[in-house]
Amino acid sequence: MSGKYVHGYTEREAERLSDQAQTLTGLLHDDTRYPAGSRVLEAGCGTGAQTVILARNSPEARITSVDISEVSLGEAKKRVEIEGITNVTFEAGDIFDLRYEPGSFDHIFLCFVLEHLAEPHRALEQLRPLLREGGTITVIEGDHGSAYFHPDSTHARRAIGCLVDLQREMGGNALIGRELYPLVAGAGYRDVSVSPRMVYVDGSRPDLVRGFTRLTFTAMVEGVGDDAVNRGMMSREDWERGIADLYRTSEPDGVFCYTFFKATGRK
């Protein structure tokens, strides 16, 4: 699978992904529920943070969760076992070379996967034959260009820009949310619809302050600091100021906004 995971495979990153999934469950997942007996492919399940939510929302669906990383699959299996979930099967596989028969699935689900691929359009094209006629695809992605906050900070914006640049260098696209409609429609799906899902955080929403601003978004940016500084993208001093300014937005008088995009389509 072309493209690399810019955030790495550390235990802390697994924790961050779990924080993110739990914080955003309602915003991203509440309108994705599959009927009993549905065959669902989760393409690129990672450490299983989204898998748990999918399985809980559709307890009688049969979910096949695939990932190219054996390390991530191991984490996902543990997570599902701890939660007592029994309707998920895990398999190792490359999105660009999945060996399922045409029409094997009623629904396909991808969340935070395309942003890491050098050829997201081809990935969507490769997945389409696996759907039965009339089957659906759901794709969720963020867009780091949608982040804005108070107090504003040039250093914080540049730190976010470093993450965008690093992901681009690794073959991904941290701004992919805005491209979902042309990507999904261009890959041959019909009835494509995209809905923006904005996270708005201020001092009256302490759960989001902690779960999103601090533990999801700022922790994600902070995690690429060594790479950004070592590559000369920012000085250590400027980087640390940028991260401090992002954390500053989580104070009682701070505000943070970010938009995810959710696309659905049909074969």
In a domain, 5, yes or no: no
Distance CA 249, CA 203 (A): 9
Q: Which residue in 218, 216, 203, 211 sits closest to 255, CA to CA? A: 203
Lowest mean pLDDT segment, chosen from 12-21, 62-71, 109-118, 143-152: 12-21
In a domain, 143, yes or no: yes
Q: What is the pLDDT of residues 109-166, one digit of tens each?
A: 999 999 999 999 999 999 999 999 999 999 999 999 999 999 999 999 999 999 999 9
Range of the domain at 115: 11-266
Q: Structurally, how many domains does the chain consist of?
A: 1
CB atoms inside a 10 Å sphere around CB 84: 6
Residue 25 confidence (pLDDT): 84
In a domain, 158, yes or no: yes
pTM of the model: 0.90
Q: What is the pLDDT of residues 171-182, one digit of tens each?
A: 999 999 999 999
Average pLDDT over residues 58-87: 96
Q: What is the pLDDT of residues 119-132, one digit of tens each?
A: 999 999 999 999 99
Residue 11 confidence (pLDDT): 63
Distance CA 88, CA 44 (A): 14
In a domain, 3, yes or no: no
Rounded to 5°, the CA angle 27-31-36 comes to: 140
**Looking at residue 77, which CATH number applies to its domain?**
3.40.50.150
Distance CA 112, CA 266 (A): 20
In a domain, 109, yes or no: yes
* 3-state helix vs strand vs coil in the chain, percent to 5: 45, 25, 30
In the 8-state DSSP scheme, what is residue 58? S
Burial class (CB within 10 angstroms; exposed 0-12, middle 13-18, buried 19+) of 235: exposed
